[in-house]
Structure 1
Amino acid sequence: MDNSFITLGLMSGTSLDGIDASIIKSDGENNLDIIDNKYFNYPEEFRKRLSSFILNINNRADIEENISTYKSLERDLTLYHSKISKKIIGENKLNIQLIGFHGQTIIHKPKDGYSIQMGDANLLSQELKKKVINNFRANDIKNGGEGAPLTPVYHKLLINKFKINNPTIILNIGGISNYTYCFNDTLAAKDIGPGNVLIDGYLKKTKGINYDKNGDIALSGNINIDIVNQFYEHEFYNVQQKHSFDRNEFDFSFVKGLEFEDAVATLTYFTALIISQNIKKNFDNEIEIILCGGGRRNLALVNHIKKLLKYKIKLIDEFSIDGDFIESQAFAYLSIRSYLNKIISYPSTTNVLNPVTGGEIKINF
């Protein structure tokens, strides 16, 4: 008897560039078939409106004060998710049983008891005539956790699928960097600092560029080691003390006054240093690292990490998995686990007091 579900996972990350969509087939446990992945680029005008809104949100009260803008953005964002969903579902001609809808994180403040993801699950359910699972982080936070990272249970499935038997880290470099450590029955995870957020934020602010393609700008500049040394210890201490981050917690102003290329080079090295030192502090040289997320395409960033760590590092793509879609696949997988009331987070992954399930089912058709 096949207990598998065919599900669609949707993810819009901290880079605010667009939507990743993935269809998988899984039983929510050990079986996994990745059927398709697709990316949808947000229109520039919408991206700017969304980015501008998020930059001005420092707490939940700020959202309430700007609720009409929030609702307008939320409707547009949900309809963009509906558009890519209809496209990928239509192309594959499959009966999608569940949709894992992460939404767009607006503000993440677990210590204050909330993490807000923009996205109207009722509207998406109505648009697609499907069951939608959303609000994945709330139950974890309600039970004393940080609501992040949530991808470790999927990372563990991938490591088993790759038949890796050694201590392994999956290092995801998105807007924020996080790792999942997996070996035997041990599963541990945390955010470990900036990923692309400092670099992309600086590029958008100064030149209107969305990202440093291949790390070319960083490679053309000179690293200002004095500035790195001046700010590194303070930032590393802050990163060490925390388990998860909001994108607004990272500030690139310390490179102000540097030439453009040198600023990008310095931010890139600074990011690599924090990631590397955090991993070194927790793990020894016998560990294997698998990179995923958009940051793995930044050659300057990856080369710095390789030199600073000297560990065995591979791209997840070497295992015939597209490293751009791990999180959208994860939320497709988490939607199944949520629907079946299975555990999605553990004390060792989010600091939750006890293992919990999460997600809410919305049916509006």
Structure 2
Amino acid sequence: MTSSSALPEFFIGLMSGTSLDGVDSVVAAFDHQHCNIIQQQFTPYSSQLRQQLLALHTPGDNELETSCLISNQLAHAYAQNIDALLARAAIQPAAIRAIGCHGQTIRHRPELGFTLQLGNAALLAELSHIDVVADFRSRDIAAAGHGAPLVPAFHQAVFAHPTQHRAVLNIGGIANLTNLPAAGERVTGFDTGPGNMLMDAWIKKHRAQDYDANGSWAATGQVISSLLQQMLSAPFFSMSPPKSTGRDMFNLPWLEQLLQTQPAYRPEDVQRTLLELTAVSIVMSMTQYCGNVDALYVCGGGAYNTALVQRLQQLLPATAIQPSDALGLAANAVEAAAFAWLAKQTLYGLPGNLPAVTGARGPRILGAVYAA
């Protein structure tokens, strides 16, 4: 950490998550329990790159070469994002200590001992002229952990309160929950199931839109109880933490297979049911594993889904629900900031995982460093 007399150290965090919408980045500086966002940038993926990434989530021909070529494309996309970020921040690359790059997950199979995030970190270091820290998840998996979620360690560092029981809910493609009891009690966290991913896929198929803005389309539909119960019967929902998931488990083909056993439904009713799945699975997890939470802070793209947040509040009437902005960190910057923080932890030789969250054998220094 920097002292008050020292110049601040700037880190860049890069996040491209399961929503496959693009690259979020921040320039961040850290001081004790505070994360100061200097600037942030979002660069959408081209439709071609998004389709290529989606295709890689299922087995296909010549996957090895395709993965390597797309890793190079991602490195160029990340570098362009960083150029725009630094220009907006009026900061030179030499002022950045390191980039924390999550990469783009295309396989996450901790039960088989591996996870795979694309993004050529060596090429990114070459293009950006900044040291890059990448491959954060593998070390935790090597220690018998899930390698995910990793953001709870960051949530603990910047959002924990000495007397208030808080929870932080990140709703990206997958939703994950961090339980932050009052000081002295164990922090826990885990994936709760689909966040925006299934809703995004369904509206893309039926309305050619990338996402359901404010949940407006879902709000026109009705919950299909039989479909909801069938989706909630997926084994993941009955698993105890530590647990993590992704597109390997929840995806459009999975949904369409379930729909084959159901009558024909209006698309908007399916969309409403998918929103209900996200909300109910989050609340089930909170009720079972977090106890009485005083305040729930929401971040990620789902924080802007008005219908989803309203439904969460209906299901949790005794819990105050606010965006993470209320704690000084914008909802759309939290995950990128987490990987800036993880890069700092790596360079300082400090652990980046929480064993109680991931199931690893103990704290581990995460990530591999690619010098510029």
Paired with 2:156 and 2:326, the residues of 1 have a C-alpha distance of 17
The 3 A distance-change label for structure 1 pair 305 and 271 is: same
Aligned to 2:180: 182
Of stretches 205-214 and 355-364 in structure 1, the one that deviates more from structure 2 is 205-214
Aligned to 2:14: 10
> Is contact 1:291–1:316 with CA below 8 Å preserved after alignment?
yes
Cα-to-partner distance string for 1:229-267 (whole Å, 9 max, x where unaligned): 344244564454661112220132234621111110111
Which SS does the other structure have where 1:97 is aligned? Answer: strand
Aligned to 1:41: 44
Superposition TM-score, scaled by structure 1 size? 0.91
Of stretches 214-223 and 319-328 in structure 1, the one that deviates more from structure 2 is 319-328
> Is contact 2:242–2:357 with CA below 8 Å preserved after alignment?
no
Aligned to 1:284: 291
| 1:350 aligned to which of 348, 353, 358 | 358
The 3 A distance-change label for structure 1 pair 261 and 239 is: farther
Aligned to 1:317: 325
Q: Does 1:32 align with 2:35?
A: yes
Paired with 2:206 and 2:88, the residues of 1 have a C-alpha distance of 39
CA root-mean-square deviation: 2.0
Paired with 2:117 and 2:174, the residues of 1 have a C-alpha distance of 16
Aligned to 2:305: 298
> Is contact 2:242–2:359 with CA below 8 Å preserved after alignment?
no
Q: Which runs of 5+ in 1 are unaligned?
A: none
Query: What number of residue pairs does the alignment pair up?
Result: 355
> Is contact 1:255–1:263 with CA below 8 Å preserved after alignment?
no
Paired with 1:237 and 1:51, the residues of 2 have a C-alpha distance of 24
Cα-to-partner distance string for 1:168-188 (whole Å, 9 max, x where unaligned): 100111111111111213221
Of stretches 222-231 and 307-316 in structure 1, the one that deviates more from structure 2 is 222-231
Superposition TM-score, scaled by structure 2 size? 0.90
Which SS does the other structure have where 2:132 is aligned? Answer: strand
The 3 A distance-change label for structure 1 pair 230 and 26 is: closer
The 3 A distance-change label for structure 1 pair 241 and 233 is: farther
Cα-to-partner distance string for 1:295-327 (whole Å, 9 max, x where unaligned): 111122212221122222111123342101101
> Is contact 1:121–1:362 with CA below 8 Å preserved after alignment?
yes
Report the AA paired with residue 279 of structure 2. Answer: A
Paired with 2:15 and 2:208, the residues of 1 have a C-alpha distance of 23
Aligned to 1:91: 88
Report the AA paired with residue 305 of structure 2. Answer: N
Of stretches 65-74 and 137-146 in structure 1, the one that deviates more from structure 2 is 65-74
Report the AA paired with residue 113 of structure 1. Answer: G
Paired with 1:33 and 1:265, the residues of 2 have a C-alpha distance of 37
Aligned to 1:166: 164
> Is contact 1:192–1:240 with CA below 8 Å preserved after alignment?
no
> Is contact 2:153–2:354 with CA below 8 Å preserved after alignment?
no
Which SS does the other structure have where 1:115 is aligned? Answer: strand
Paired with 1:240 and 1:264, the residues of 2 have a C-alpha distance of 27
| 1:359 aligned to which of 358, 362, 367 | 367
Paired with 1:172 and 1:144, the residues of 2 have a C-alpha distance of 24
Aligned to 1:70: 67
The 3 A distance-change label for structure 1 pair 233 and 308 is: farther
> Is contact 2:108–2:116 with CA below 8 Å preserved after alignment?
yes
Of stretches 90-99 and 273-282 in structure 1, the one that deviates more from structure 2 is 90-99
| 2:55 aligned to which of 40, 52, 56 | 52
Which SS does the other structure have where 1:222 is aligned? Answer: coil
The 3 A distance-change label for structure 1 pair 7 and 172 is: same
